[in-house]
Amino acid sequence: MEKPEVKGTVTSLSSMFPAEEVQKAANRVAETLSEKQNEMNQLREFIADNTSLINLVQKLPEELHHDIMVPFGKAAFFPGRLIHTNEFLVLLGESYYVERTAKQTVEILKRRGKSLESKMDALEAFMQDLKAEASFFDSTASEAAEDLVEIKEEYEEENSTETESQSGELEQESPSFAEADNTMVASEDDEFAHIMSRLEALEKEELAAESYGENDEDQDTGAAVSDGDEDEDEQAKAVFHRKKYEGYSSLDHDQRYSEVYQSRKPLQQLKGKDSMNEETSSKYHHQDLISQLACTGLTVEPVIKGKMSHSQSMPQETKMLNPSINASVPFEKRVKFEAEHSSRNETSKSGFDSSKAFTGSIVEHTLNLEKASPGQTTSQFSGSQTSKPVSRFKMQRK
Amino acid sequence: MDSLNQAKIQKFEEFVDRRLKPDLVRAIAERDKVFEQQKIFSDLRKNIENLEQNSVTNLRTLVNLGSEVYMQAEVPDTQRIFLDIGLGFHVEFTWSEALKFISLREEKLERQIEEYTRLIASIKAQIKLVCEGIRELLQIPEEKTVEGRVF
C-alpha cells in the first residue's frame, strides 16, 4: 500500500531522545523511587507500632496494677507500678492532651491507623506511576541505543494504511483513531471532495429510500460512488459491521444512527454554507467531507461507540470525537465546519426533510432491532452531543 | 612544570575532599554523641540531687507507652535506682552510690570528648596544611620571587 517514493520523514529515535538525557531521567526517577520507598518503610513501621500499641492498650486494663520499671531520664529506672490502668493520656498534637479510657484510646489509635494506611496507599500508587515511568525510560533508552527510527508519512487518500512507528510515545487513542488523525493531516482537499461526494451519495440514497431494507445497499452504493475511497469505506463498513454483530442492539442502532448522522450533518451544513448549490462544487466539498468523515466520523465514531457501549458517558465521546476531528484537519477548515455545524443548525433543519425517512430506515436496518429502540437511542445520542445538530435531529425524530 | 603542578594540585584537592573532610564530619558526629551522653548524665545527677534535697519518697510519673500515649505510674520507693552502666547492664544503686557513679561516668565522658576534640583539631590542621600547599603551588608560578608573604 505504500507508495514507492519516500514521502515521509525518518527521524532516529536517538536524536529525539538523546541517550544520556534518557539515562539522567531514568536516574532521577530511580532516586525519587528510592526516596518514596524509604517513606513507605517508615510508614509501615508507624503502622506496626500503632497496632502493637492498640494491643497493649487493650491488655492493660485487665489488671489493677502492673509492676514495671519506670524510666527516669534516658539512663535510669525506678521500680514502680502502673496505676489507674484504664486512664490514658493521649497527645492529639499541638500540645493538646486528652484523658481517655482504654476503649476510647483504642478508637483514636484505630483512626490514626486508618489515616496512615490511606497515606500508604497513596504513596504506593505514586510509586507505581514512578515505576511505569522508569520502565518507559529504560525501554526508550534501550531502543535509542538500538537505533530505532521513527518514520512519519503523510497520509494520502489512496492509502488507507499508514506507517507510523512511534515507539516512545504513548498512543492513547485507538489505532483507527490515530489513522484517522493522520488521514486528516494529509491532503485535505482530496479528502474533502471525497467526503462531500460520499455525503451527497448518501443523501441521495436516503431520499430515495422510503422502504426500510434499502439502507444497507445504499451504503454500499455510496461506498462505490466515492471513488478512491474504497479502503476507508471498507474500513468504515468493516468496523460498522463488526459493531453491528456485537449484539448491542441499541448501540448498534446508535452507531448506525450516529455514523450516518455524522455524515449527514456536514452535508447539510455545506449545503447551506457556501450557497453553492451547484452539484459539482458542493459535490466536491461533500466528497472531501465524506472522505474526511469516513476517516474521522465514520471510522472513529463506531469505534468510539463500541467503546462507549459500556459506559454511558456520552459527553466523553463528544470530546473524544472533537479533538480527533479538530486535531487532524487544518484547523481553519475544520473549525469552520464545526462552527457552521452549530450555527447552521436551524437553517439546514428546514431544508432537510429526508432525515425523517432516514432515521426510519436506520431503525429497520440494524440487526436485532425493535422499533422501540430508536426513541431510546435518539435520546441517548442527543444527550451526548448537545451542542451539535443532533438536537435538531432529535426534534425531528420526536 | 605547570601541568605537573596542576596534577599535584588536583591530587591535593582530591585528598582534602575525599579523605579529610569526611573524616572531619565523622569525628564531629561522634563527639556530638558523647556530648549528648554527658548531658543525659548531668541531668540525671541534677534530678537525683533534687530528689535527695526534697526527700521525695513517692513519685508519680506519666509513662510513655509509645506514640505519645501516657499512663500514670507510681514509684512507691525511690531509694533504689537502676542505672545503665553500659553494655546493656543496669545496676541497682542507692542515691549516694548513684551520685558517685554518675560523677565517675561524667569524668570518663569528658575524657572522651577531649580526645575527639583533639582528633578534630588535627584533621582541621591537616586540611589547612594541604590548602597551604595548594596555595604555594599556585602562587609560586605567579610570583616567582616573593617570599615570606605569610603576614
CA dist., res. A216 & res. A361, Å (int): 9
Band of pLDDT at residue A16, cut at 50, 70 and 90: low
Measured between beta carbons, which residues in chain B are less than 8 angstroms from residue A105?
69
In angstroms, the separation between the Cα of residue B112 and the nearest Cα of chain A is: 18
In angstroms, the separation between the Cα of residue A88 and the nearest Cα of chain B is: 5
Q: What is chain A's percent helix, strand, coil content, to nearest 5?
A: 70, 10, 25
Alpha helices in A165-248 (DSSP H): 175-185, 188-208, 215-225, 230-244
Residue A376 near residue A363, CB atoms below 8 Å: no
Mean pLDDT of chain A: 62
Q: What is chain B's percent helix, strand, coil content, to nearest 5?
A: 65, 15, 15
Residue A225 near residue A198, CB atoms below 8 Å: yes
DSSP 8-state symbol, A159: -
Characterize A289-311 residue by residue with b for buried, 16 or more Cβ atoms within 10 angstroms of its Cβ, and e for exposed.
bbbbbbbbbbbbbbbbbbebbee
Q: Between residues A49 and A248, which one has the greater pLDDT?
A: A49
Residue A69 β-bridge partners: A79
CA dist., res. A43 & res. A33, Å (int): 15
**A73·B63 Cβ contact <8 A:** no
CA dist., res. A76 & res. A20, Å (int): 57
Mean pLDDT of chain B: 85
Does the structure show a pLDDT above 50 at A42?
A: yes
B66 touches chain A (CB under 8 A): yes
Q: Which of B43, B47, B70 sits opposite A88 (nearest CB)?
A: B70
- Hey, which of A90-99, A150-159, B131-140 has the most confident mean pLDDT? A90-99
Q: Between residues A83 and B148, which one has the greater pLDDT?
A: A83
Does the structure show a pLDDT above 50 at A174?
A: no
Helices and strands (DSSP H and E) totals, chain A: 16, 6
* Residue spans per domain, chain A: 9-65+109-152
Residue A361 near residue A253, CB atoms below 8 Å: no
Q: Between residues B113 and A356, which one has the greater pLDDT?
A: B113
A142: left (phi over 0), alpha (psi -120 to 50) or beta: alpha
Q: Which three cell numbers stand for residue A281?
A: 462544487
SS3 labels along A242-292: HHHCCCCHHHHHHHHHHHHHHHHHHHHHHHHHCCCCCHHHHHHHHHHHHHH
Band of pLDDT at residue A211, cut at 50, 70 and 90: low
* pLDDT for residue B117: 93
Question: How large is the average pLDDT for residues A59-76?
Answer: 87
Residue A78 β-bridge partners: A70
- Hey, which of A119-123, A332-336, B144-148 has the most confident mean pLDDT? A119-123
Does the structure show a pLDDT above 70 at A338?
A: no
**A79·B90 Cβ contact <8 A:** no
* pLDDT for residue A371: 46
* pLDDT for residue B110: 93
CA dist., res. A250 & res. B113, Å (int): 85
Residue A157 near residue A194, CB atoms below 8 Å: yes
Nearest to A253 by CA among A375, A385, A95: A375
- Other CB atoms within a 10 A radius of the CB of residue A189 amount to 14
A314-328 helix and A372-384 helix, angle to the nearest 10 degrees: 60
Which of B42, B65, B79, B109 to probe the A interface (max A CBs under 10 A)? B65
Band of pLDDT at residue A6, cut at 50, 70 and 90: low
Residue type, A124: E
HSE toward the beta carbon, residue A136, CA cutoff 13 A: 13
* pLDDT for residue B7: 85
Does the structure show a pLDDT above 80 at A204?
A: yes
Residue A167 near residue A148, CB atoms below 8 Å: yes
Between A172-181, A207-216, B91-100, the lowest mean confidence (pLDDT) is in A172-181
Q: Which three cell numbers stand for residue A292?
A: 474526511
**B74·A83 Cβ contact <8 A:** yes
How does pLDDT run across B6-36, given as a tens digit for each residue?
888 888 888 888 888 889 999 999 999 999 9
CA dist., res. A293 & res. A301, Å (int): 9
Residue A269 near residue A348, CB atoms below 8 Å: yes
* pLDDT for residue A12: 65
Residue A66 β-bridge partners: A82
**A73·B43 Cβ contact <8 A:** yes
B56 touches chain A (CB under 8 A): no
* pLDDT for residue A59: 87
Does the structure show a pLDDT above 70 at A154?
A: yes
Band of pLDDT at residue B121, cut at 50, 70 and 90: very high
Q: Between residues A317 and B22, which one has the greater pLDDT?
A: B22
Does the structure show a pLDDT above 50 at A200?
A: yes
Q: Where do we find the cell 462544487?
A: A281
* Residue spans per domain, chain B: 1-94+113-135
ipTM of the complex: 0.72
CA dist., res. A270 & res. A345, Å (int): 11
Residue B65 near residue A52, CB atoms below 8 Å: no
Does the structure show a pLDDT above 80 at A47?
A: yes
Q: Between residues A330 and B17, which one has the greater pLDDT?
A: B17
* pLDDT for residue B141: 60
CA dist., res. A124 & res. A135, Å (int): 16
**A84·B67 Cβ contact <8 A:** no
* pLDDT for residue A390: 47
* pLDDT for residue B108: 92
- Tell me the CATH class for B1-94+113-135: mainly alpha
Q: Which three cell numbers stand for residue A91?
A: 497527645
Sign of CA dihedral A237, A240, A245, A250: negative
Residue A154 near residue A13, CB atoms below 8 Å: no
Q: Where do we find the cell 457501549?
A: A309
If you count residue pairs, one on A and one on B, with CB atoms under 8 Å apart, how many are there?
97
Question: How large is the average pLDDT for residues A112-116?
Answer: 93
CA dist., res. B38 & res. B113, Å (int): 9
Does the structure show a pLDDT above 60 at A385?
A: no
Nearest to B4 by CA among B128, B118, B137, B125: B137
* pLDDT for residue A136: 83
Measured between beta carbons, which residues in chain A are less than 8 angstroms from residue B90?
77
Does the structure show a pLDDT above 60 at B83?
A: yes
Question: How large is the average pLDDT for residues A291-318?
Answer: 42
